[in-house]
Amino acid sequence: MGGLDVSSTPAAGGPDEHLIKRSTEKWSSFMCGIAGYVDWSRRIRGGEVIDRMTRTLSHRGPDDANSWIGDHTAIGHTRLSIIDRSGGMQPMVEVIGGRSVALTYGGEIYNCPELRRKLGALGHEFRTRSDTEVVLRAYLQWGEACVDELSGMFAFAIWDERDDRLLLARDRLGIKPLYYAALADGVVFGSELKAVLAHPAIEATVDRTGLAQLVALVPMTVPGTTVFRDIVEVEAAHVVQVRRAGIRTRRYWSLGCEPHRDDTPATIERIRELLSDSVSRQVVADRPLCTLNSGGVDSAAVTALAAERVDGLLSFDIDHAVETPGGVAYGVSAFHVDRDNPYALLTAEHVGARHETVVVSTDDLLAAHDATLTAMDVPSLGTLNTSLIALFRRIGQVAPVALSGEGADELFHGYRWYHTAEDYQHDGFPWHRTYRPIIGLLGAAARADIKPDEYLETCYQSALERVPDSDLVGLDRRIEQVSALTFDFYLNFLLRRADRTSMASGVEVRVPFLDHNLVQYAWNIPRLMKRTGGIEKGVLREAVADLLPSEVVSRRKSGYPASITAGYQRAMFERLREKIEVRDSFLGEVLDKAAVSRFLDTNAGDFSDWTATQQASYLVGMDDWFTRYGVRVV
């Protein structure tokens, strides 16, 4: 990336010195790509299809790739080894009575030592130090109920020849991805959409519901769905059982609404205890580990706790280059209220972390724009994701494990839609002023055909029906609904974004705030207690105040820096103008050309609201996606 610059705070030693203080209990662990298919109509004889599917996930596992083929099943695996790089080859197969049980798994099981001891006491003998084998033996012991025993982030598929059954499973919060598509005589599955689409029986087909989702829910998706007609997502905290007779889906965990009995001091103490324990478990790695440190209280807290446990911890933030004399790097907006870098440097100095700032230019962002589509497989927000791609490209060169602050805003009510009446009183999704649909730019014919307004309303009402019942009323109940909607939709988007943009460069992102014990505890903290001190996330700030500089503890919520350099905005606007002139392009067919021109003319050069650049970037990516993926509309 021509304009990429990396600056670092002075410290001795190179990246390989960022080693963790050794745990007394070690196990091998992997972030991976998983893929496979079942075909009951014939015996599988060759590996061409599974090899093609597996190759699409090479970025998720640059260390190794393997496959296993049974009579009616082919399973592929790519591996990024984090601990004990020589152990835990996959797919892992156990033969019982002449029948194979084969596992392909990606993730981190943070209670692996405890599970290993528990299984050992039940008579299981282990041949490796891998958490892969722990997952396999947990299945052999408890069957489908093994997911109840696992604490961590994971997605896996198990083919059991003893009863011709495929089991797909995903962790409680949906940190690691998994998709599948049903066939007439089987099923196809993979970590990413590109792996499923690589199977010859699966087409990149979008129907009117998929189109409505694309234009009405920017940048989110309905849980359990994708924009492709035939591909669905394994939902968080779900297992999917596939047999010849059909597919059965079961939720194995959900947030429980319980009375919160701790007072504020006890709550603060408990938050600190749970977060500290989560970080302690998640810093275990044999390869260099870092943190994402934007200078906000979430990532700063994770950085501070990790620095207590990791010798020579490296942290990263991202900044935008000033491209004109006397100019500014990017505009301050309601989304991103001030510059991260000073706070990131302040945090790193305070906790003793080595810090690098990745400085990106407009050229870097534009170079990453196409890579974002490849990583995400669907149109997304280039304004957010291009800078993440650039950041992880640098991190991937020095530290393949990164701890992040995702989840804290969802748990402790960091977003403005928890606190601003105009947002939470809106009879619809509460982020309507932050992430706006592109419905208004559609032509009349396309709007009548796709019916995105109807879809959005139906989607919202269905989402409300999923919110757990509770005894709360009035504003407390509405904020509880807002929390549930944010978990179901927005957190899902953030985790998908973090996973794809990091794994595109072979980096594993861990999210200590999303330990399910901490999530369950924080879910029931009363909304006013969460705002202790009259500031968003106040109770979290109090829990980590002794770890951080006072300026960071009191810093107001500022969203991840959107990629809105003047040059990036100009480029997106110019590309959009060009695309709407192409009559046979998707945008040329569905957008109102006059409305788009007015939109671009009105917002050119305006950095006070990032929405215009967000929408332009999204539309450009959507048009590119239809062409690159050969999307067929039905």
Residue 286 has pLDDT above 90, yes or no: no
Instruction: For 345-372, give one letter per residue: b (16+ CB within 10 A) or e.
Output: bbbbebbebbbbbbbbbbbbbbbbbebb
Q: Class for domain 29-251, per CATH? A: alpha beta
Residue 241 has pLDDT above 80, yes or no: yes
Residue 242 has pLDDT above 70, yes or no: yes
Tell which wins on pLDDT, 35 or 565.
35
Burial of 462 (0-12, 13-18, 19+ CB in 10 A): exposed
- Per-domain residue ranges of the chain: 29-251, 281-553, 566-633
Of 353, 338, 381, residue with least CA distance to 292:
353
Residue 273 has pLDDT above 90, yes or no: yes
Provide the 8-state DSSP code for 158.
E
Per-residue confidence at 150, pLDDT binned at 50, 70, 90?
very high
Residue 73 has pLDDT above 60, yes or no: yes
Q: If you average pLDDT over residues 3-29, what whole number do you get? A: 38
Supply the pLDDT for residue 6. 44
Q: What is the residue type of 369?
A: H
Per-residue confidence at 324, pLDDT binned at 50, 70, 90?
low
Residue 559 has pLDDT above 80, yes or no: no
User: What is the residue-averaged pLDDT of the chain?
Assistant: 90
List, by residue number, the catalytic residues: 32
Q: Token pair 């995400």 is at which residue?
A: 376
- Residue 476 · residue 484 · CB < 8 Å: no
Supply the pLDDT for residue 81. 62
Supply the pLDDT for residue 9. 39
Residue 10 has pLDDT above 50, yes or no: no
For 363-408, write each residue's pLDDT tens digit.
999 999 889 999 999 999 888 899 999 999 999 999 999 999 999 9
Q: What is the 3-state secondary structure (H, E, C) of 555-621?
A: CCCCCCCCCCCHHHHHHHHHHHHHHHCCCCCHHHHHECHHHHHHHHHHHCCCCCCCHHHHHHHHHHH
Q: If you average pLDDT over residues 149-153, what whole number do you get? A: 97
Strands 99-109 and 152-160 turn out to be antiparallel
Of 629, 619, 622, residue with least CA distance to 194:
629
Residue 8 has pLDDT above 80, yes or no: no
For 94-115, write each residue's pLDDT tens digit.
999 999 999 999 999 999 999 9
The C-alpha atoms of residue 571 and residue 169 are separated, in whole angstroms, by: 42
Residue 464 has pLDDT above 80, yes or no: yes
For 87-96, write each residue's pLDDT tens digit.
567 899 999 9
Token code pair at residue 235? 């939902």
Supply the pLDDT for residue 23. 34
CATH fold of 281-553, please?
A: Rossmann fold (3.40.50)
The C-alpha atoms of residue 44 and residue 70 are separated, in whole angstroms, by: 7
Rounded to the nearest 10°, the torsion over CA 447, 451, 455, 457 is: 80
Residue 3 has pLDDT above 80, yes or no: no
Least confident span in 267-276, 366-375, 410-419, 489-498: 366-375
Tell which wins on pLDDT, 22 or 488.
488
Supply the pLDDT for residue 16. 35
Residue 252 has pLDDT above 70, yes or no: yes
Alpha helices in 338-451 (DSSP H): 341-351, 362-376, 382-398, 408-412, 421-424, 444-450
Residue 2 has pLDDT above 60, yes or no: no
Residue 170 has pLDDT above 90, yes or no: yes
- Name the β-bridge partners of 94: 101
Percent of the chain with pLDDT over 70: 90
Residue 26 has pLDDT above 60, yes or no: no
Tell which wins on pLDDT, 29 or 617.
617
Q: Is 377 left (phi over 0), alpha (psi -120 to 50) or beta?
A: left
Residue 561 has pLDDT above 50, yes or no: yes
Cα-to-chain-centroid distance, residue 433: 22
State yes or no: cis peptide before 219, omega within 30 of 0.
yes
The DSSP code sequence of 25-55 is S--BEEEEEEEEEEETTS-----HHHHHHHH
Alpha carbon distances (Å) from 76 to 68, 153, 196, 389, 407: 7, 20, 12, 26, 31
Global pTM reads 0.93
